[in-house]
């Protein structure tokens, strides 16, 4: 793909104000795409947008609740108007409400499933209209190694396993229109979310990172840039024959 063609393509990254989402947004901008940095609060996206535009890229901040169908429709319409029809979608928005099953409330369950699964569904449904019209598209959903089960994360594990099922179904339904759908399942990544997990279990974050790294075959924790690299591949022209896959970016196989 030429630089001009890449620049003409627009990506939406949800949950992109910080962490993994921000890293993916920056990487896609480096790859030559215009990027909509979407999060609940557009103001929180300012730093990510500034980093991209200061480097010569094109980006806008978009505020929207991905679990609200009306807000999603308005956000995608805004992106199409200001940057061009979005044909790349990264469903990264997510929250955690960790607790053991007997302590987990219905509100904790619903909140996590709603943001992850309803959000990815609504965003994918809205963006696919532009992808089908263009005859080309990329959807990348963020899953997790927690999809395989993780103590204290019944809601999160269920949501991330659901993301894998959604991914495979999108690949089946949208493939004929030139749209691929893949999922990335990160292992331990150094983010504010894993910092929250350390706080929940009462361990200092540095100590938490060090202890976890010892259990990872490559001997280190992961970083948002590791996930961004995987997303870059899935969004590339060269990944056009890769669809419905789940890539575990975890430093080795899970025991």
Active site residue 156: yes
C-alpha pair distances (Å), 144 with each of 37, 86, 92? 21, 25, 11
Nearest C-alpha neighbor of 187 from the set 232, 163, 220: 220
Annotate 182-200 with DSSP letters as a single string: EEEEE-SB-SHHHHHHHHH
Q: Which of 156, 177, 223, 248 is catalytic?
A: 156
Handedness of CA 179, 233, 88, 163 (dihedral sign): positive
Distance of CA 183 to the CA centre of its chain: 9
Q: Which two tokens stand for residue 10?
A: 């627009």
Centre a 10 Å sphere on the Cβ of residue 70 and count the other Cβ atoms it contains: 10
Separation in Å, CA 210 to CA 145, 187, 204, 223: 19, 14, 10, 14
Calculated CA dihedral for residues 100, 104, 109, 115, nearest 10 degrees: -70
Could you tell me which residues come within 8 angstroms of residue 217 by beta carbon, excluding any fewer than 6 positions away? 251, 252, 253
Locate 50 and state its tokens.
């500034």
Active-site residue list: 156
């Amino acid at each position: 793909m030429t630089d001009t063609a890449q620049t003409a393509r627009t990506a939406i990254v949800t949950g992109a104000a910080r962490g993994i989402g921000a890293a993916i947004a920056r990487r896609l901008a480096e790859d030559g795409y215009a990027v909509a940095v979407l999060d609940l609060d557009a103001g929180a996206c300012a730093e990510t947008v500034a980093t991209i535009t200061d480097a010569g890229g094109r980006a806008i901040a978009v505020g929207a609740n991905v679990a609200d169908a009306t807000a999603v429709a308005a956000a995608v319409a805004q992106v199409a108007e200001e940057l061009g029809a979005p044909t790349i979608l990264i469903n990264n928005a997510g929250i955690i409400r960790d607790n053991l099953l007997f302590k987990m409330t219905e509100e904790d369950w619903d909140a996590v499933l709603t943001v992850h699964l309803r959000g990815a569904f609504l965003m994918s449904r809205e963006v696919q209209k532009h992808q089908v019209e263009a005859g080309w598209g990329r959807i990348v959903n963020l899953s997790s190694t927690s999809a395989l089960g993780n103590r204290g994360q019944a809601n999160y594990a269920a949501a991330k396993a659901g993301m894998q099922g959604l991914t495979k179904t999108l690949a089946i339904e949208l493939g004929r229109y030139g749209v691929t759908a893949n999922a990335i399942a990160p292992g331990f990544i150094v983010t504010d979310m894993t910092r929250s997990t350390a706080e929940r279990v009462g361990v200092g974050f540095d100590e938490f990172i060090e202890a976890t790294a010892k259990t990872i075959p490559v001997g280190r924790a992961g970083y948002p840039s590791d996930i961004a690299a995987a997303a870059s591949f899935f969004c590339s022209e060269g990944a056009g024959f890769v669809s419905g896959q789940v890539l575990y970016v975890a430093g080795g196989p899970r025991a």
